[in-house]
Amino acid sequence: MNKKIGFIGLGIMGKPMSKNLLKAGYDLTVCDINAAAVNELVSLGAKPAATPRDVAAQTEIIITMLPNSPQVKEVVLGRNGVDEGARAGTIVIDMSSIAPQAAQEVAKALAEIGVKMIDAPVSGGEPKAIDATLSIMVGGEQAVFDECLPILKYMGASVVRVGDIGAGNVTKLANQVIVALNIAAVSEAMTLATRAGVDPDLVFNAIKGGLAGSTVMNAKMPLMLERKFNPGFRINLHLKDLDNALTTAHNIGVPLPLTAGVMEILQALKVDGSGNDDHSAIVKYYEKLSKIEVRRKLA
C-alpha cells in the first residue's frame, strides 16, 4: 500500500479507476489534458502533475489509460514523456486498448532504461470502472504481474495474466470482436421481432435465460429499449479497437470477415453522426434500414 502511483488519462474509464485507487488509500499523482478532471481528482486527495515526465519522477508505478497506440507512445516515449522521468525499477501499467505490436514496441524501449511494463487492457465499460468490477487481461512477465496484482484488484473483479507483453491486448481485441458481433446480432434479431409485430422487450425476457442469452445482451438490450445511447463505450472507440483487430489479424494471416462487416456498420454510424453514442446504438443501423425503432412499448 505504500507504493506511489501515477495515473495518466482521466477520461470516461480512467477517472473512476483512479478514484478507486484513492479509495484504496494509495498515494496518487494524476495528469491529464483536461484540467477539470485533474482538479476533481485533486479535490479527492490526489496530487497534480503537469506532464507525464513529472508523474514518473514522483512515482514508482505509472498507469496509463489513453485512447490508442499513438497517444500511449507520445505519453510514454515522447517529449516530457514517462521515460524522461522514470528510474530503473519503475513499472508502467498500460491499461489502454492498443495494438499488441505497439505495446511490445513501447515495452522494448522502456526495457532499455530499466523500466518494466505490462499491458493490462480492461473490459466492462464505465459502470464496471465505477464499481471496480472490470475484467483486466494482462500481458507481461510473471514477476511484474505479481507485483502489480494487488493494485489491479482495486480496479477489477477479474485479473488474469494471459501471456507475455502484448498478449493482454490480443485478448482485448478478441473480447471486442465478440462484443461487437454480439451487439450486432441482438440488434438484427430485435429489428426482426419489432418489424414482425412482437414486443422486443418480451422477446428479450423470453430468450435471455436460454442459449442466446449473454452478458452483452443483458447490458445493452435495456439501453436499446429505453433509447439511452449516452456513452458507456463510444462507437468511435469500438471502431478503433476493430481497426486494431483487423490490422493485427491481417499481419498474421487471419481473415476476420464478420469483424470486417461490423466495422463497416460502425463506420456508417459514425458518418451518420453517432460516433459518440454508446455501441448499443448499432441498433440504429438496422432501424434505419427497416424504418422502425426497437423500443419498450408504453404500458
Q: How far apart are CA 140 and CA 165, in angstroms?
A: 4
**Residue closest to 129 by CA, chosen among 234, 29, 232:** 232
Nearest-angstrom CA–CA distance, 241 and 169:
10
Q: From residue 152, how far is each of 86, 92, 112, 140, 183 by CA, in Å?
A: 20, 13, 25, 14, 28
Cβ within 8 Å of residue 59, ≥6 positions away: 4, 5, 6, 29, 90
Could you tell me which residues come within 8 angstroms of residue 99 by beta carbon, excluding any fewer than 6 positions away? Answer: 69, 169, 244, 247, 248
The continuous run of DSSP H or E covering 181 comes out as helix 167-195
- What span, in angstroms and rounded, lies between the C-alpha atoms of 101 and 206? 43
Q: How far is CA 35 from CA 10, 69, 288, in A?
A: 10, 23, 39
Known catalytic residue at 4: no
Among candidate residues 172, 220, 240, 284, the one labeled active-site is: 172
Residues that are catalytic:
172
